[in-house]
Structure 1
Amino acid sequence: MPSFFDFQQGNETRGPANDSSPLLGRFRAVPDAQRHGTRSHRNSLLGTWTGRGSGWGYGTVFGTNDDDDDDSIEIEDMGRLKRWGRIQRDLWLEPRQAVVARLVDKWWSRWVLLAVFPAALAVGWCALPIPQYEIDDDDFAEGISLGHKIPGHGAARVEINFWFFLFVYYGLYNLTALLWVTKVFNIYSLNWWPETLGFPLTVSLIGIVSLAVPIPVYYFTDLRDFTGYNTLWICWTFFTMAMPLMLAFGILVNHERHLGLRQSLSETQRIFTTSWWTGESETVVARSRPRRANVTQNHYDPDAPLEVALASENTNMRERNLALRKRWIPASFMRFIWFCAALYVGMMAYVLGEAYAETYLRTLPHNTIQTIVYVYTWVLTINLLDGLTGWILGGNEGERVGSYPLGWVFKLYYSLTYQTYVRALYARLRSPQQFILLQVLSSSFLIILFPLSMSRAFHYVLTILGINGQTTQQYQKFCARNIFIRGLSENVSMLAFLGSILVLHYGANKNVYPYFAFDKEDTPATPPTDGGLPISDGSEYDFGLTFYASMVTWACEMVAAWIVRRIIWYGWKIDVTGEAKQDLGTWPELLPTGVVVIFHVLQNMLFSIARLKFH
């Protein structure tokens, strides 16, 4: 079965790994050239330390070793359909360095894989026609409290079919969330499901539970009204995503991976260890054994039989070993706990994002100052969560989790989470001036602050404060990575935003997403003002202005990103795109994981603005 569903845990037995080899997950990454023992002349840099200022690296990863050449010949001999299937397997299910490196080396294929493809998946998901029914007039008469939202958030216009929503719309959303957790566990090199059940059966059981629990809630009359709140569904998805963490924790505890003394010795092995005379049947891994305690005079009885004295001594030693066993927690288990903490903080981010969006849209209208405060409050929140997760993952090996690929994935997750909620706010900006002001602030921060943060002086200050313990090369590599991820997040979020407002404004689900309906509403008798000018609730900012102003904003973002990359190249000779291609080629698992993460975050944005009222 493909490794996407049945990941084989990593090990370090396939080849020597030097100290410069970064950790992939729980194990050190070993380049293919070291595993096979030989390498071709054109691939001689694979596995060597690059001197381009990255601090991490494998030099050129876009060549292929001998096995990859054989695979290429085999693929050429296949038929067109089989060739396409083999490439998809090597790209998504069992990512191979050669296949991923060739595709990400070209700008157009890299852009299609990382931006167009996940954005198209998200737009297609929200465009699935949901069966709809007219709302009874009695419901309108009873007021907004029965599932209707205030106009700024979009009032529910239709009732939707509960079963289609549960099994198709919400079911796909939950499935993507479980795949995201699974791919992150794959990068960490650990299975979260029981080996006896396997991935397909375990994930099916979790999926059944996640879909079965809302059914009695919906049919229980007193709780039915709560099913119309998006936050409740997102919180349930949060619990569904936490199930793999709880399962993995339970499996490790059941196998006593949280204990240091867990490896039983055979009788032959005990002859050559101190356990033969201490009576201990287990050993401490990678730690020196405590010396045998001296027998004190108070516990020594010279008149006692020999077998009684030995039994008493063995009992005392076993008690001491049991106490040590309970006190000592292996570093590998602590690393797993840190990994779970990072994943938990990440899952909390989109729950907070939903609460933030709900608060923002329920307090419309906003003037320019209030809009800026809301936007940069979210910026501060997401950066704090990102910084906390980055600290948990660690910038160097040995710091808590210490995995560069995991840091790459989580950085993409937070950057895109920030961008998606900012895009959603565009549909409620009341004037082009608000667009311009927000874009000027965003581009200025990018062009000025990002290059300054890469300077040696800035890194020195972080080192003095104890915030960063990396070398200058490693730190600059992380900064270059962050710039690429930010640009990717801007592009894919804007693609998804523009595509979604097109299909939702003109498509079959327009009434399910009244947020993008851009209804014209009557201006209140005494409208609020912004510096003497009347402001509206955003409804007068119609589809045309939103669409074209967003495209202008996107163009400004691309220009700002180009300027920053040129500054970094001329200032530090670091190729931002080249570093990203190197990362994706070295760790091919980043590509499918990144696509799943992007798809899931885009689903979060769209799910949070759907108006739920069930038939």
Structure 2
Amino acid sequence: MPAFFQFTQGSESRRFNPDSSPLLGRFRAVPPQPGLSRTRPGQPGGLFSSHRGSIHVGYGSVLALGAAEDSDDDSGSDEELLHMEGVSRLGIWWRRAVRRVVDLWVEPRQGAVKKAVDVWWSRYAVLVLLPATLAVVWCAVPFPQYPLPDDDLDGLPDDPDRGSKVPGHGAARVRVNFWFFLLFFYGLYNLTALMWITKVFNLYSLNWWPQSLGFPVTLTLIAVVGMVVPIPVYFSEETRFLTVHNTTWITWTFIIMAMPVAIAFLILMVNERHIGLRQSLSETQRIFTTSWWAGEADTFSHRERRRPALQPDSFDPDLLHVSEQPRSRRRVAIAREWLPASFVRFIWFCLVLFVALMAYVIGEAYAEIYLRTLPHDNFETVVYVYSWVATIHILDGLTGFILGMREGERVGSYPLSWVFKLYFMLTYQTYVRALYARLRSPSQFILLQILSSTGLIMITPALMSTIFHRLLSAARLTTLSYPTYQKLCIRNVFIRFIAENVSMATFLGAVLVLHFGANKDVYPYFAFDGDSDAEPYDFNLTFYASSVTWACELVAAGAVRVLISYFYNVNVDLEGKSDLAGWPELLPASAAVTLHVLQNMLFSIIRIQFL
């Protein structure tokens, strides 16, 4: 089978501090040696042609590592094929297209990723437009729909005929085909979730699937399980009511996404990675452990001992007095219950995944509470939004603490922290976007935008100052050096820009295709037809006010970039694209997590009633 994921082991260098040379999974990425720049002579303004405006202190500093071997300039070979083998120009174009897809998304190569993120429009296309388009197309594919029976207008506990309030995302208006929902809509949703988990494991440098089965087979088996288990639940009269609740399907996806984590854990346990070393210790290494003196195995797995136990009478009692205290070695022996650092690091990694998976389950609960208590005034809207902001920041801070930034600090992976920062920023933004469809007046849009833009423009540059860093250090809230801390702040600004744009592009696209498209009755959240007095919301207000809000966000983002460049002489875009090119696997991982979170937003507002 082809290699789906490629890892490159960096070389250690004692010239660089571990704080400035983060781990890429188990491997360390370090700055290149002087003179290894791959910028061609006479090529000005390239991404890697100059470090001016950059604060690279290790993070993203692998600027040109391996760029030469990833060169995409193979037009000569294509021309040779065209003349020597008679290959058509269409074949050449197809070959190039396939190679570019592989180099960007399957086996990311530094040269291809660098080319894709070097200019703003290309970077915007792969990070914003592509995930947004896929999410909108996914929800726009027409569902096979059937009318509701007269005696069962909804069949849900919140049916208005049952005396309870219709939730803000509306009551079901049609019945949909169960098989289409399961095999296409829900199947693609789960596939994206599994690809996100896979890419996260890829950044961790660990394959979660059994080597004997391989990635395609294992992924297929989990996907089949994800679609087979709901079938008996649907056909059973006692459990069929569960299938009309979005929370049920999201919870099942939570379990499916946890399967790779469980499989990886079982593989490590079977291989006894929790009780042993990967390789046997040499005789010289064993001299410095109790295994040599006490006759213990060099690892705690079931391996043959290399040296028999030495008896106490083998020593001169006048020298070591071992015979007088034959059991003293038990007090200095290494405990058999110790856990290897790699296994402890994996446990931390699993905890990060658990926190991340719980975030969108909590988000679903937040959305349900908000929608069931509509309409809201300005104060209630602000309380909802900023309570969600606080929740996301707490979870994000917990995740950042677990991931760490330096070797030996729990997980200690900068690329993983990059992806999870994007995940939490997107989770926050998508639920705020969905809120826009239930704002009742322009004043609510204005109030939220003033708070958001003011916080971004005024607070963000202040948080990057040396004074604030000293305060954090004095309070023992950070142990990072100032350049590293500043680098993280710049990275967060770049990630926020991506999250704001891709979430708003998806929201506006979904509003259009779901309001005017064939799935209008499947998504009553975007119907805006005034069928219920409980939903006095307007399409024009939602679409145009959201568009104005997006324009204000772009202006605010530009203002922040100018302020950061003026006060700190740092280019935000340069830092972000250097990270993406320095760690090529970040691009497909970011695209996968973005598409997954966008699908969460749309999945949470669909109304399910099966035929």
TM superposition score category, shorter chain reference: 0.7 to 0.9
Residue 96 of structure 2 is aligned to residue 83 of structure 1 = yes
Counterpart of 1:27, as a letter, is F
Q: Tell me which moved more, 554-563 or 327-336.
A: 327-336
Residue 109 of structure 2 is aligned to residue 96 of structure 1 = yes
Mapping of 1:585-604 within 5 angstroms?
585-604=581-600
Residue of structure 2 in register with 1:217 after alignment:
233
Q: Secondary structure, in 3 states, of the residue corresponding to 1:153?
A: coil
Aligned counterparts of 2:522 and 2:26: Cα–Cα separation in 1? 44
Counterpart of 1:61, as a letter, is L
Q: Secondary structure, in 3 states, of the residue corresponding to 1:518?
A: coil
| Structure 1 residues 65 and 432, CA gap change in structure 2 (3 angstroms) | closer
Normalising by the residue count of structure 2, what TM-score does the alignment of the two structures yield?
Answer: 0.86
Does structure 1 retain, via aligned residues, the 8 Å contact 2:154–2:173?
no
Aligned counterparts of 1:476 and 1:409: Cα–Cα separation in 2? 18
Aligned counterparts of 2:14 and 2:517: Cα–Cα separation in 1? 57
> How far off is 1:326 after superposition?
3.2
Q: Tell me which moved more, 395-404 or 43-52.
A: 43-52
Aligned counterparts of 2:504 and 2:101: Cα–Cα separation in 1? 26
Residue 578 of structure 2 is aligned to residue 562 of structure 1 = no
Counterpart of 1:93, as a letter, is V
Aligned counterparts of 1:326 and 1:293: Cα–Cα separation in 2? 19
Residue 578 of structure 2 is aligned to residue 582 of structure 1 = yes
Residue 121 of structure 2 is aligned to residue 105 of structure 1 = no
Does structure 1 retain, via aligned residues, the 8 Å contact 2:110–2:583?
yes
Residue of structure 2 in register with 1:366 after alignment:
376
Residue 28 of structure 2 is aligned to residue 28 of structure 1 = yes
> How far off is 1:518 after superposition?
0.8
Residue 539 of structure 2 is aligned to residue 543 of structure 1 = yes
> How far off is 1:140 after superposition?
2.8
| Structure 1 residues 190 and 442, CA gap change in structure 2 (3 angstroms) | same
Does structure 2 retain, via aligned residues, the 8 Å contact 1:447–1:564?
yes
| Structure 1 residues 142 and 92, CA gap change in structure 2 (3 angstroms) | closer
Mapping of 1:230-309 within 5 angstroms?
230-260=246-276, 263-264=279-280, 278-283=294-299, 295=312
Aligned counterparts of 1:268 and 1:25: Cα–Cα separation in 2? 29
| Structure 1 residues 239 and 144, CA gap change in structure 2 (3 angstroms) | closer
Normalising by the residue count of structure 1, what TM-score does the alignment of the two structures yield?
Answer: 0.85
| Structure 1 residues 573 and 238, CA gap change in structure 2 (3 angstroms) | same
Counterpart of 1:575, as a letter, is N
Does structure 1 retain, via aligned residues, the 8 Å contact 2:359–2:392?
yes
Q: Tell me which moved more, 571-580 or 147-156.
A: 147-156
**Could you tell me which of 162, 178, 194 is aligned with 1:178?**
194
Please list every run of 5 or more consecutive structure 2 residues that lacks an aligned counterpart in the other structure: 82-91, 302-308, 318-322
Aligned counterparts of 1:160 and 1:480: Cα–Cα separation in 2? 46
Aligned counterparts of 2:15 and 2:216: Cα–Cα separation in 1? 33
Residue of structure 2 in register with 1:414 after alignment:
424
Q: Secondary structure, in 3 states, of the residue corresponding to 2:489?
A: helix
Q: Secondary structure, in 3 states, of the residue corresponding to 1:222?
A: coil
> How far off is 1:440 after superposition?
0.5
> How far off is 1:61 after superposition?
3.0
Residue 58 of structure 2 is aligned to residue 56 of structure 1 = yes
**Could you tell me which of 118, 137, 158 is aligned with 1:124?**
137
What do the CA deviations read for 1:119-178 (whole angstroms, capped 9, x no partner)?
A: 000000001111111100111397754699715221100011111101110000000000
What do the CA deviations read for 1:543-589 (whole angstroms, capped 9, x no partner)?
A: 11111100000000000111111110000001000100110110111
> How far off is 1:85 after superposition?
1.3
Does structure 2 retain, via aligned residues, the 8 Å contact 1:63–1:98?
no
**Could you tell me which of 175, 182, 199 is aligned with 2:215?**
199
| Structure 1 residues 482 and 274, CA gap change in structure 2 (3 angstroms) | closer
| Structure 1 residues 139 and 100, CA gap change in structure 2 (3 angstroms) | same
For these two proteins, the number of residue pairs brought into alignment is 574
Does structure 2 retain, via aligned residues, the 8 Å contact 1:55–1:471?
no
> How far off is 1:609 after superposition?
0.0
Residue of structure 2 in register with 1:530 after alignment:
none
Aligned counterparts of 2:576 and 2:411: Cα–Cα separation in 1? 22
Counterpart of 1:339, as a letter, is F
Mapping of 1:4-19 within 5 angstroms?
4=4, 7=5, 11=9, 19=17
What do the CA deviations read for 1:308-358 (whole angstroms, capped 9, x no partner)?
A: x9xxx9xx899999x846321111111111111111101111111111101
Identity %: 57
Counterpart of 1:577, as a letter, is D
What do the CA deviations read for 1:23-74 (whole angstroms, capped 9, x no partner)?
A: 111211256x66x996657599979999943333455836974423486456
Q: Secondary structure, in 3 states, of the residue corresponding to 1:159?
A: strand
Mapping of 1:113-152 within 5 angstroms?
113-140=126-153, 144-145=157-158, 150=166, 152=168
**Could you tell me which of 290, 315, 340 is aligned with 2:350?**
340
Counterpart of 1:465, as a letter, is A
Residue of structure 1 in register with 2:185 after alignment:
169
Does structure 1 retain, via aligned residues, the 8 Å contact 2:187–2:227?
yes
Counterpart of 1:463, as a letter, is S
What do the CA deviations read for 1:421-468 (whole angstroms, capped 9, x no partner)?
A: 000011110111101111111111111111111011111111111111
> How far off is 1:276 after superposition?
6.3
Does structure 1 retain, via aligned residues, the 8 Å contact 2:439–2:537?
yes
Aligned counterparts of 1:499 and 1:246: Cα–Cα separation in 2? 37
Aligned counterparts of 1:401 and 1:175: Cα–Cα separation in 2? 26
What do the CA deviations read for 1:351-390 (whole angstroms, capped 9, x no partner)?
A: 1111110110011111111111111111111111111101
Q: Tell me which moved more, 389-398 or 38-47.
A: 38-47
> How far off is 1:17 after superposition?
9.2
**Could you tell me which of 388, 411, 424 is aligned with 2:398?**
388
Residue 504 of structure 2 is aligned to residue 494 of structure 1 = yes
Aligned counterparts of 2:289 and 2:443: Cα–Cα separation in 1? 77
Residue of structure 2 in register with 1:350 after alignment:
360
Aligned counterparts of 1:256 and 1:195: Cα–Cα separation in 2? 16
Residue of structure 1 in register with 2:443 after alignment:
433
Aligned counterparts of 2:537 and 2:77: Cα–Cα separation in 1? 53
| Structure 1 residues 215 and 460, CA gap change in structure 2 (3 angstroms) | same
> How far off is 1:253 after superposition?
1.4
Aligned counterparts of 1:173 and 1:383: Cα–Cα separation in 2? 26
Does structure 1 retain, via aligned residues, the 8 Å contact 2:37–2:49?
no
What do the CA deviations read for 1:223-245 (whole angstroms, capped 9, x no partner)?
A: 11111110111011011100111
Aligned counterparts of 2:222 and 2:156: Cα–Cα separation in 1? 37
Q: Secondary structure, in 3 states, of the residue corresponding to 1:138?
A: coil
Counterpart of 1:212, as a letter, is V
Aligned counterparts of 1:332 and 1:57: Cα–Cα separation in 2? 22
| Structure 1 residues 15 and 454, CA gap change in structure 2 (3 angstroms) | closer
| Structure 1 residues 200 and 70, CA gap change in structure 2 (3 angstroms) | closer
| Structure 1 residues 440 and 75, CA gap change in structure 2 (3 angstroms) | farther
